[in-house]
Every structure is written in structure tokens, then in C-alpha cells.
Amino acid sequence: MKKRGHIWAWVIFAIGIVYFFLPLLATFLFSLKARLGVLSFQAYENVLRDPAFVRSFSYSVLWATLTIIFGILLFVPTAYWVRLRVPQARTAVEFITLLPFVVPAIVYVFGLVRTYSHPPLLIVNSPFLLVAAYTVLSMPYMYRAIDTGLRAIDVRTLTEAAQSLGANWPTILFRIILPNIRVAILNGAFLSFAIVIGEYILAQYLAKPAFGPYMAVQGQNKAYEPAALAIISFGLTWASMGIIDAFGRGRGQGATIAGGH
């Protein structure tokens, strides 16, 4: 009986592997067929040599990084304060953090354009509007990852212990709370990164030269390069996961492994 269950586990695992990796393998093989009759990395070469790729990718990396920093500065104190002082507001805050899942991005971007394209708030051309918009878009991932990290530590007691030793709020936040939810923050950060790096609608409608619109253009005009871009994108995601894992295992004594998704 036990052996049969064991076999079924492997069968399901194998189906899972095929389901997830077969399309990836097919995409990868397709991306190698840019040259007629031979397998080559020509499509990758074309992508990486394209100045627009480097430009749009760097642009998105920069704004993704700023989004992450802004998100951490906004959500860590908020989640901490909600957990410590206003736990009764948690349900309401969680609902707010889920709104980006409910409001379609296209509705959201038109709202932004309408609100910020005329005085007194004429900031529709500012890249900071994009950061603010991305922060909202990544809110469900970032906030929930941080909140999960906070749930894994005894926030109240650690705060009170630090207070009784003379620590003020910034010290508590930066020296006690942040280091203990480091992995949770990293989880949220990399999820935000993954969201922002390939985001299309906000960048397109706010007319920003980001990586998402670049990929869309490539998809419309070329055959093999979009497949190569998809593989590069997977590679970046896996690299991000690897970094999370390395951080989690590394200076691990204080790390809180918390899944935010």
C-alpha cells in the first residue's frame, strides 16, 4: 500500500514537471532556431545587442529598484504599526492591499492619467508617478510578504524588550524588526521586481520606455527574439529565487523564512 502511494507521488511529480517544463523547453528550442537548419543563440545575440533592450531593461530595473525601496519604506512601518497598535484594522488594510487584484490595470492607469494630467497635480510625465503606480501594483505582494514575516516574530514582545532597554522607534524598526523580517522583505522585493520588470499597461499608457512595452513590440515584429526574451525573463526570475534562497540560508540565525505568496 505504502509502495503504491510512493509510485503515485512520482507519477504526479512527473506530470507536474512535464506540465511546467515542456512549454519552456519548446520555447527554448524554438528560440534556438533563428538560423535556418542549425541550432544557435542568434536570437539571444540579437536581443542582447539591441540597444533598445539594454535601454528598456535598465530603465525597468531602475524603476523596479526604486519601487522596492519606496514599497519597503511605506509598507514595513505600516504593517508593523497595524500589527502592534491597531490590529483591529488588519482586515480593512488587507482588503486595501488586495485592491490592485480587483481594479484592472487599464482602469487604474486611466484614473492616474485623468487625475494627474492637469493642474494642480500635473505629474503625469514624472517618472515618480510610475514608481508610485508600481508601488500600488506590487502592494499585494509586498505588503503581504512583510505581514507574513511580522507574523512569524513576536512583534509586540520584541518591541517592548527593546523599549525597556532604551530604544526609540527608529532603532526598533531598523535594528530589531527589519533584520528579523529580512527574508520576507526579500520575498516581497523579488515578487515586486518580477511584476514591475515585465509590466506593460502602466508603462505603455504613461508612455514610458520600459521593458514591458519593448517585449510587446518585439512580439509583434519578430519571431525568435520574443522566445529568447521569454527565456531570459525566466532566467532572471530563477536568479532572483536563487538570491532569496542564498539569503535565507546564509546569515540564517536571525532570518525568518516567510512566504509572502
> From the CB of 152, what's the least distance to another protein, in Å?
10
Rounded Cα–Cα distance for residues 48 and 204 (Å): 22
Smaller CB separation from another protein, 62 or 161: 161
Here's the x/- map for another protein, 199-238, by CB under 8 A: it reads as ----------------------------------------
> From the CB of 156, what's the least distance to another protein, in Å?
9
**DSSP states along 217-261:** HHHHH-SHHHHHHHHHHHHHHHHHHHHHHHHHHTTGGG-------
When asked if residue 167 is in the footprint of another protein (CB under 8 A), the reply is yes
Quote the strand ranges of 32-182, DSSP E: none
When asked if residue 171 is in the footprint of another protein (CB under 8 A), the reply is yes
When asked if residue 194 is in the footprint of another protein (CB under 8 A), the reply is no
The residues in 135-154 that bind another protein, with binding defined as CB under 8 A, are 153-154
When asked if residue 254 is in the footprint of another protein (CB under 8 A), the reply is yes
Give the range of 84-92, 163-171, 185-193, 223-231 binding another protein by CB under 8 A: 163-171
When asked if residue 160 is in the footprint of another protein (CB under 8 A), the reply is yes
Among 43, 109, 132, 176, binds another protein (CB under 8 A): 176
Rounded Cα–Cα distance for residues 46 and 9 (Å): 42
Rounded Cα–Cα distance for residues 254 and 203 (Å): 38
When asked if residue 42 is in the footprint of another protein (CB under 8 A), the reply is no
- CB distance 136 to 71 below 8 Å: no
> From the CB of 27, what's the least distance to another protein, in Å?
41
Residue for grid cell 527608529: 170
Other Cβ atoms less than 10 A from the Cβ of 189: the count is 26
Give the range of 159-167, 191-199, 204-212, 224-232 binding another protein by CB under 8 A: 159-167
**DSSP states along 104-115:** -HHHHHHHHHHH
Among 48, 163, 242, 249, binds another protein (CB under 8 A): 163
Rounded Cα–Cα distance for residues 36 and 38 (Å): 6
Give the range of 67-75, 139-147, 184-192, 253-261 binding another protein by CB under 8 A: 253-261
3-state helix, strand, coil in the chain (%, to 5): 80, 0, 20
Quote the strand ranges of the chain, DSSP E: none
> From the CB of 179, what's the least distance to another protein, in Å?
4
Q: Binding residues for another protein, per CB under 8 A?
A: 153-154, 157-158, 160-168, 171, 176, 179-180, 182, 253-254, 256
